[in-house]
């Protein structure tokens, strides 16, 4: 079979046959893998011509993982794994997905990978398509996509600020409570118009509830960091509530909210606007427990 394939490869017939005719998908993938090694340009043509193929197959994505993917997902996965296509070829594939996203949503996973890898330099050619997708995400109450948000926001267009704000208002309440990517976005981009969002989140999700705080985990770390980004009287009032009026429990050796918040103040309050809270905490912290948390954080950050 490989000798036969080699003959077809030389003649350039096999790839054309796969592109033109409805060849069995197992055979198509078998040939495609060989072409990735022997003739990436022909493999690239096959990949482009199969982007709408929604037939699926289960493949091994690692030594102990099986996943069901569509045929084009498999093709892109193999190409990325082997670094077979040029950057220009991969960008063309992403462009084909983005510009036809409504009928190619089965490839959205790779689009998310593209957003993550290129968020610092969004492609101007994709702007209209990306904005339309952002509008669609905002319209759906259950949708959120932090990779899309970061990519889109880096176009830095003033006319998009309201759309981003609407997204944040919705998404911050739909996130996993263990790590809120929307809250993290606000921490990294603390615009004044986002302050009401974190206030609303505090009032609806934080105020009056009980949270975990021990040597390895502080459940209110993100919301505390967010308010520290806004040195104003309202933030000071809310941080006082987080520090002195919120109940905590431990899943470890001790309750650590005083020590955890003290560390966050020391690391993030560069202006010393919240120095009064920090001074009040100094008399409450246990220095041994404080060091345990610092040691844990240092070990974790080295991973």
27 within domain boundaries? yes
Instruction: Name the least confident of 22-31, 222-231, 275-284.
Output: 22-31
- Dihedral of alpha carbons 60, 61, 67, 69, sign: negative
CA atoms within 13 A on the CB side of 106: 17
Among 58, 85, 112, give the residue marking a domain's end.
85
201 within domain boundaries? no
Crossing angle between the packed helical segments 87-98 and 71-82, to the nearest 10 degrees: 160
Q: Is pLDDT of 10 > 90?
A: no
107 within domain boundaries? no
What's the rounded mean pLDDT across residues 29-44? 94
The pLDDT score that the predictor gives to residue 20 is 41
Number of structural domains (the chain) is 2
Q: Which tens digit of pLDDT belongs to each residue from 155-171?
A: 999 999 999 999 999 99
Q: Which tens digit of pLDDT belongs to each residue from 233-290?
A: 999 999 999 999 999 999 999 999 999 999 999 999 989 999 999 999 999 999 999 9
% of the chain beyond a pLDDT of 70: 92
The pLDDT score that the predictor gives to residue 141 is 75
The pLDDT score that the predictor gives to residue 69 is 96
Cα 172 from Cα 1, distance rounded (Å): 55
166 within domain boundaries? no
* Helix, coil or strand: residue 58: strand
- Predicted confidence band of residue 22 (pLDDT cuts 50, 70, 90): low
Phi first, then psi: give them for residue 15, nearest 5 degrees: -60, -40
Crossing angle between the packed helical segments 257-268 and 221-228, to the nearest 10 degrees: 40
Among 85, 109, 128, give the residue marking a domain's end.
85
97 within domain boundaries? no
Q: Supply the pTM of this predicted model.
A: 0.86
Phi first, then psi: give them for residue 57, nearest 5 degrees: -155, 145
- Predicted confidence band of residue 300 (pLDDT cuts 50, 70, 90): confident
The pLDDT score that the predictor gives to residue 7 is 47
% of the chain beyond a pLDDT of 90: 84
Q: Is pLDDT of 9 > 80?
A: no
- Predicted confidence band of residue 3 (pLDDT cuts 50, 70, 90): low
Residue 276, Ramachandran bin (φ over 0: left; ψ between -120 and 50: alpha; else beta): alpha
Residue 128 buriedness (CB in 10 A; 0-12 / 13-18 / 19+): exposed
Q: Which tens digit of pLDDT belongs to each residue from 169-200?
A: 999 999 887 899 999 999 999 999 999 999 99
Looking at per-residue pLDDT, the higher value among 20 and 189 belongs to: 189
CA nearest 156: which of 200, 206, 121, 190? 121
63 within domain boundaries? yes
Do the Cβ atoms of 77 and 66 come closer than 8 Å? Answer: no
Among 85, 115, 146, give the residue marking a domain's end.
85
The pLDDT score that the predictor gives to residue 1 is 55
90 within domain boundaries? no
CB atoms within 10 A of CB 172: 23
| 280 alpha carbon, distance to own chain's centre | 37
33 within domain boundaries? yes
Give the domain range for residue 10. 1-85
Which residue reads 């199969």 in tokens?
Answer: 50
Average confidence score pLDDT of the chain: 91
The pLDDT score that the predictor gives to residue 21 is 45
The pLDDT score that the predictor gives to residue 169 is 96
Cα 251 from Cα 212, distance rounded (Å): 7
């Amino acid at each position: 079979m490989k000798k036969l394939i080699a003959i077809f490869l030389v003649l350039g017939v096999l790839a054309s046959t796969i592109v033109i005719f409805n060849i069995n998908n197992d055979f198509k993938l078998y040939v495609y893998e060989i072409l990735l090694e022997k003739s990436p340009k022909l493999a690239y043509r096959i990949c482009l011509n199969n982007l709408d193929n929604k037939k699926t197959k289960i493949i091994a994505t690692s030594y102990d993982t099986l996943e069901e993917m569509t045929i084009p997902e498999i093709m892109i996965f193999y190409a990325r794994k082997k670094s077979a296509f040029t950057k220009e070829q991969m960008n063309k594939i992403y462009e084909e997905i983005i510009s036809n996203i409504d009928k190619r949503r089965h490839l959205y996973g790779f689009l998310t990978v593209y957003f993550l890898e290129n968020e610092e330099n969004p492609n101007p050619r994709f702007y209209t398509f990306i904005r339309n997708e952002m509008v669609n995400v905002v319209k759906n109450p259950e949708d959120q996509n932090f990779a899309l948000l970061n990519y889109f926001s880096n176009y830095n267009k003033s006319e998009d600020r309201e759309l981003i704000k609407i997204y944040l208002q919705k998404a911050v309440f739909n996130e996993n409570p263990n790590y809120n990517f929307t809250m993290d976005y606000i921490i990294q981009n603390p615009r004044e118009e986002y302050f009401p969002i974190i206030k609303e989140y505090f009032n609806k999700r934080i105020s009056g509830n009980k949270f975990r705080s021990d040597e390895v985990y502080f459940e209110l770390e993100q919301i505390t960091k967010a308010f520290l980004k806004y040195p104003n009287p309202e933030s000071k009032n809310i941080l006082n509530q987080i520090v002195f009026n919120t109940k905590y429990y431990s899943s470890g050796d001790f309750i650590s909210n005083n020590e955890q918040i003290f560390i966050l103040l020391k690391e993030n309050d560069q202006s010393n606007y919240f120095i009064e809270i920090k001074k009040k905490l100094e008399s409450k912290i246990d220095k041994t427990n404080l060091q345990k948390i610092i040691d844990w954080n240092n070990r974790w950050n080295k991973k």
